[in-house]
Amino acid sequence: MLSGQELARYDRQLTIPGWGEDGQRKLKDSKVVVVGAGGLGSAVLVYLAVTGVGTIRVVDGDVVDLTNLNRQVLYTDADVGRKKVDSALEKLRELNPYVKVEPIAEPITDENALDILGDYPIVDALDNLPGRYVVNRVAVERGLPLFHGGVHGFEGAATTVIPGTTPCLRCLYKGVSQGSVPVAGVTVAVIGCVQATEFLKYVLGIGGMLVGRMLSYDGLAMRFTEFKLKKDPNCDVCGRTG
């Protein structure tokens, strides 16, 4: 049930066609794990929380650094040196006390991924390819939707992986290494909001998702471009599914 306070809080979104109180209850009952509480994660977490997603698990093993503050809007100077998940828990509770936040202060690894990710839909808000490969493998093995986003400077991209239907991240990123990359805060805001939107549509069952499609964003040209994605039949992660 939704309380009177919740109905008032979510009033403007309840009037969206296909949303309503039934949709809001679906969101309240939904669970998601956001892996990475940096730039992308900050945007995703803020908007999932204020929208009323019931349970949000936050996974990140890092502490807040001064160099994070140009793009990781969950944090302030006062948070430098704190665990990101602790600060995220505090900020998200302030944004929406009706949301349950589950902080996990560990980096995602092959050894802990199954336990940490559980059976929650996954938002990939990571900034490194090895970690993405880990969450991708678990998503495919367990049939969990994976909402992927990545950024580089003023450019970004997003897609939604539905195991058994779409290409997985291993199909798309083969043998690509990734070190530290330049990032504009406005870019992670755009891509993170795309990822959050994809999750909301998934729960609500409305709209068309980025299934088998990659949405590419060029902030300098202010242009969105869409690419169709093809599954690799020889992919060592998803090649035997679907």
**pLDDT digit string, tens, across residues 121-173:** 999 999 999 999 999 999 999 999 999 999 999 999 999 999 999 999 999 99
Q: Is 89 a member of any domain?
A: yes
Pairing assessment for the beta strands 122-124 and 31-35 based on DSSP bridges: parallel
Q: What is the pLDDT of residue 160?
A: 98
Q: Is 133 a member of any domain?
A: yes
* pLDDT band with cut points at 50, 70 and 90 for residue 214: very high
Which amino acid type is present at position 12?
R
Q: Are the beta carbons of 160 and 148 closer than 8 angstroms?
A: yes
pTM: 0.96
Q: Dihedral angle at the C-alpha atoms of 34, 60, 94, 40, nearest 10 degrees?
A: -60
CB atoms within 10 A of CB 15: 9
Q: Is 110 a member of any domain?
A: yes
CB atoms within 10 A of CB 219: 16
Q: Is 198 a member of any domain?
A: yes
Integer Cα distance of 105 and 5 in angstroms: 32
Q: Of 199, 201, 139, 198, which Cα lies nearest the Cα of 169?
A: 139
**CA distances for 77 relative to 65, 94, 188, 224, angstroms:** 9, 18, 20, 34
Q: What is the pLDDT of residue 178?
A: 61
pLDDT in tens, 36-63: 999 999 999 999 999 999 999 999 999 9
pLDDT in tens, 83-117: 999 999 999 999 999 999 999 999 999 999 999 99
Q: What is the mean pLDDT of residues 196-206?
A: 98
Q: Is 236 a member of any domain?
A: no
Range of the domain at 97: 4-228
Q: What is the pLDDT of residue 240?
A: 64
Contacts of 4 (CB under 8 A, 6+ apart): none
Q: What is the pLDDT of residue 176?
A: 59
Q: Is 238 a member of any domain?
A: no
- pLDDT higher than threshold 70 for residue 242: no
- pLDDT higher than threshold 80 for residue 241: no
Structure tokens belonging to residue 231: 């599954």
Adjacent-strand bridge partners of 225: 216
Q: CATH number of the domain that 192 lies in? A: 3.40.50.720
Q: For the chain, what is the domain count?
A: 1
Structure tokens belonging to residue 42: 């900050």
CB atoms within 10 A of CB 40: 34
Contacts of 235 (CB under 8 A, 6+ apart): 167, 168, 170, 171
Q: Is 94 a member of any domain?
A: yes
Q: What is the pLDDT of residue 174?
A: 78
Q: Is 242 a member of any domain?
A: no
Contacts of 227 (CB under 8 A, 6+ apart): 213, 214, 216
Is residue 55 helix, strand or coil?
A: strand
